[in-house]
Structure 1
Amino acid sequence: MSRADPVLVTGAAGFVGHATAHHLLARGERVIGVDIVNDYYDPALKAARLATFEGKDGFHFEKMDIADAGRIADLIRSQGIVRVVHLAAQAGVRYSIQNPFAYQHSNLAGHLSVMEACRHAPGFEHLVYASSSSVYGDKPMGGQGFTEDEPAASPVSLYAATKRACELMSQSYATLYGLPQTGLRFFTVYGPWGRPDMAYFSFTQKIMRGEAIEVFGEGRMARDFTYIDDIVDGIVGALDHPPAINDGAAAKAALHRVLNIGDSHPVGLMEMIGSLERALGRTAEKIMRPMQQGDVTATYADVSKLHALTGYRPKVMLDEGLTKFADWYRGYYGD
């Protein structure tokens, strides 16, 4: 696909933004990437991600705070942007306990800035933004995955609360202004170029250094681990299928939808550690710890709505994905 107008990708120096921008470039899109490149985790990793765009035709980067409403609006207006993939946010459940105001700034003010800029952009087509499986709270996992129709009214962390608030803000902008939007509830994304604060990444660092790993929840937690390439397929698929624009208040409200995006195959924490040990060829010394504040017991995505819309179907199983991550890790860090 090749179009004259560029796609704006916020969080382009981040894990998912970096991969999404490369995918869009590979199919002939022009991409404008935005990121503040903060120090929530190693800025050198973010700089290395950005370095992979050097020499790539069609990519332009702007270092920018998404909460700077004026700059975001000027960028979208001046570049004729009508499609946005908004992935920039302050991530991390545990970090939100120590630094709550970072989430107010990046997640709430940042999301509002992007929406406000989009609603004033002539001919705007579609805003796709990142939400999170954490909005479901700590609910029992039965035989079926979490569905988008559940109320998502009991977040157990401030991070989750800000992500749910962004969904509600987006609903209001669809109803008020007819702004077409898709929120994607991500389920535990992993893979090469990932975030060091994620369990599989931090476990790898410690295992490779010969250090013990702390296994929280006594190892009884489960996650719907989703490989980065599968996530990107879902993001781009959603981008290509904007909600239809109709007249009337009720029709406008339908211009905002929320969709799960995950592997739809939850894996126990101890099973994940075993898979990681096989990928690294090393055995971890494990220290069992109780559940941490803000954590949830299990996540499990029902992705039937995204599949019906885009044909989304995860392809990479955990063993394969962690092997690819381990290969990247050794190459990047030289271990």
Structure 2
Amino acid sequence: MHMMLMADEKRLCKRFFHFRIAACARAHLLRRSVCAGFLTFLIAAVFCLSLFSAAPVKADDKVLRVLAWPGYADADVVNHFEARYKARVEVTLVDSDEALWAQMHAKGTPPFDVLAANTAEIQRYTEANLLAPLDLARLPNTRKQLPRFQALASIGGLTSGGKAYAIPFTYSSMGLIYDRKQVAVAPRTMRELWNPRYRGKVLDFNSAQHNFSFTALALGYPHPFQLDPTEMRTIAHKLVDLRRNLLTYYTLPEEATAFFIQHKVALMFGNYGTQQVELLRRAGADVGYVIPDEGALAWLDCWSMTRAAADPPLALAWINYMLEPDVSALLTQRQGLANTLTAPVESSDSARIVWIGPVENIQRREDLWARIVSGDRSERF
């Protein structure tokens, strides 16, 4: 009985420790938001004043509604497009595949005209009849892309019934980022995230799909996107175990950078890959980046036009504009991401890259992930 009580106490302590860390992380974000509050107020005030001074928008003005990830549609890029095509662009940013899907299904909001999504999501959206086939003749800049990205039929999820539904835009592996000062030798496997020496010094991306997939790779499962119930249960237990090492979960790359530096994180699952490495190095962190021996997930984000597009020619003009050399180059210069027009200076080991694909049951993964993040006990899975 004494031993059982001690075991219960240990579990309670661990759980308290986990949620205490999460609370500290949320407090840190709150402090950041308070400090930024005054600046946000000033920006909002200037923006409101600009609305009064700007010329009124006419009822017949062209409007393009864009759904994208941070860094894909910066203000200067948007302004140049607006001036060239005499149109107004409204950009909505997302921080996860789940948020992207939710935005596309939000009620009471105008539909989006174009969106940026990875190949697995493109296939999902095409099957849901949310995307329109693309007229490649209206996209001449695709001829400037590297040959591997011009061969759309060879990339899973981009074509259906002989028609193209997406154009590649940018990509990155999702490897392991580590602090060189705390990790002297580059880690060889994602399994290092579970190493007890890194207790409280690990960051993980808050995503059901990717966590189950990269853990499947780490465990040696041959089909990380098509898991059977037994494999799902094993992985769920493994992800519960990972909580012992976690500082917290993150969503945006900037958020991860702040956590990494302030809390002296040792290891991080790099969902944004080289984009995060670039942000960390600019912030002064001495980090390394590796593709694990078991392979790393990799995403290829593409531009697509929705079936709800109000002005298809304008939507196609946006996709073509995104492939102009100067615009694509900004991805590399500002975000540290590869573009589809020029070969990356530091090429990844393509033999160990696993392009993400559609998963066996999205809802099942999300339900399990919600329980994992909430602190549910391992024995309940």
Larger radius of gyration between Structure 1 and Structure 2: 2
Q: Which has the higher contact order (CA 8 A, sep 6+)?
A: 2
TM-score normalised by L of structure 1: 0.33
TM-score normalised by L of structure 2: 0.30
- The structure in which a higher percent of residues are helix is 2
